[in-house]
Amino acid sequence: MLGEIKGLNEECGVFALWGHKEAAQLSYYGLHSLQHRGQEGAGIVVSDEEHLHIHKGLGLVNDAFKEGDLEALEGHASLGHVRYATAGGGGLDNCQPLMFRSQTDSLAIAHNGNLVNAHNLKLELEDQGSIFQSTSDTEVIAHLIKRSVYPRMEDKLSDALSMVEGAYALAVMTEGKLLIAQDPHGLRPLSIGKLGGAYVVASETCAFDVIGAEYEREVQPGEIITFDRNGMRSELYATPAERRMCSMEYVYFSRPDSNIDQINVHTARKNLGKKLAAEAPIEADIVTGVPDSSISAAIGYAEEAGIPYEMGMIKNRYVGRTFIQPSQELREQGVKMKLSPVRGVVEGKRVVMVDDSIVRGTTSRRIVTMLKQAGAAEVHVRISSPPITHPCFYGIDTSTKSELIAATHSLEEMREEMGADSLSFISIDGMLDGIGRQDKDSNCGQCLACFTGNYPTDIYEDTLHPHDKVING
């Protein structure tokens, strides 16, 4: 159950638009629909062809933008970002888009993903006199663009990206152009849509639905797309490798109403639940899922297993930023925060509890305990992703290997640790089948690095010990 209880959302969201007079307004709604991808800060930059105007703020899109902020952002093109950040990650400085102004023009840049050679590039750039204001990878790309000797922005960007390695779904804006790019493995989702004559780009397709735009296609691995007065142009800046779409986008990260590479996320999750039921059946009275991200998988499990799906837990919708935390004493007395068991549902029942993933195992243990205290006779844990045994260097915050319970414990040890009556994970093949990317054209691979340790890119020494790295875009 990555992200849900921990309150962490491990990535960022990008939303860009070209050719609509209400670019800022639409970006606001678009970013809003990507809010689950980052709740620490939001920013929008617009171009009115002569200048870039920017507004950024901390917190939710709602908090970062107030009545009047949007009015000030007049322009026909926009680039927006919602940001995930670890604690203490430098406040507004690290908020994106980053904006760089020169005497002649300006450049705004935002991205989702994580570079693996940023540290090395920074050292080199600093040797050449560059100075950095943020700790964001994104600033490295900006410096590389600025130092490129090519005159055309497309070529500058291509030049810059040829030097970076990692995962990125990237957008760059100047007064006259909007450019977007995907890393050669296509590790992060980025889709293109149309809204009348305007172009829209978003990390997830749910942003299209919210503003009434039509889906067009995915940005391809290694592709740079340029929007300007002459419309949209595509070029490849790198030989695309086989696509390695992040599995976790399907498993728990994206919104259920998004389609990632044309596969609906809710449907994929429900199918993961069905596969899981087929692979790991159990006799039980009810199936329940950890809200919100595991509900679809739980319903799939229930359907396949022929066991009723019930609301065994409920998530508190109102636990906001200013929520006063209970003291340790009250917490021990049983004050619950984000998740409550439904005693009337689980009492005396044999419960299948479906969760999307296990990282450190602490959350699962807490939920099992909570269900048993609420009277569950048995709790059978079913996980709709394979065991996570390796850290992710591409933007998912699964921290270091030593903290991953599946990297250090056997299945039985894990079961015991969390106090479950049984525990099963879906198999890698089951997951691939469930999501169903293989059924599509050839370029449909998934990144499985966190399950297998086979990373699609090189991994650098100091990525492995990321002592001074605080921010993933």
Q: Which residues belong to the annotated binding site for Mg(2+)?
A: 293, 355-356
For residues 413 and 424, give the distance between their C-alpha atoms in angstroms, rounded to a whole number: 12
Binding to a copy of itself (CB under 8 A) within 25-64 occurs at: 25-26, 28-29, 32-33, 35-36, 55-56, 60-63
The reply to whether 460 sits near a copy of itself by the rule CB under 8 A is no
For residues 254 and 34, give the distance between their C-alpha atoms in angstroms, rounded to a whole number: 9
The reply to whether 408 sits near a copy of itself by the rule CB under 8 A is no
Closest CB to a copy of itself among residues 51, 233? 51
Q: What is the CA radius of gyration of the chain?
A: 22
Task: Please name which of 223, 78, 83 lies closest in space to residue 154, comparing C-alpha atoms.
Answer: 223
- Angle, helices 265-279 vs 428-435, to 10°: value is 140
Binding to a copy of itself (CB under 8 A) within 196-255 occurs at: 206, 209-212, 255
Residue span binding a copy of itself (CB under 8 A) among the ranges 127-135, 177-185, 226-234, 444-452: 127-135
Binding to a copy of itself (CB under 8 A) within 90-119 occurs at: 91-93, 98-104, 107, 119
For residues 3 and 355, give the distance between their C-alpha atoms in angstroms, rounded to a whole number: 11
444 belongs to the catalytic site: no
For residues 259 and 85, give the distance between their C-alpha atoms in angstroms, rounded to a whole number: 25
- Is residue 305 a contact partner of residue 279, using CB atoms and an 8 Å limit? no
Dihedral sign, Cα of residue 311, residue 288, residue 398, residue 180: negative
Binding to a copy of itself (CB under 8 A) within 254-313 occurs at: 255-257, 259, 263-267, 270, 295-296, 299, 303, 308-311
CB of 51 to a copy of itself, least distance (A): 10
For residues 159 and 180, give the distance between their C-alpha atoms in angstroms, rounded to a whole number: 14
Which tokens belong to 48?
């009115």
Binding to a copy of itself (CB under 8 A) within 329-348 occurs at: 329-330, 333-336, 340-345
- Kindly give the residue spans of alpha helices, DSSP state H, lying in 280-327: 295-305
Binding to a copy of itself (CB under 8 A) within 128-187 occurs at: 128-135, 142-143, 146-147
Closest CB to a copy of itself among residues 161, 423? 161
Closest CB to a copy of itself among residues 311, 377? 311
CB of 311 to a copy of itself, least distance (A): 4
For residues 201 and 212, give the distance between their C-alpha atoms in angstroms, rounded to a whole number: 13
CB of 93 to a copy of itself, least distance (A): 7
CB of 419 to a copy of itself, least distance (A): 19
For residues 190 and 181, give the distance between their C-alpha atoms in angstroms, rounded to a whole number: 9
- Which residues carry out catalysis? 12
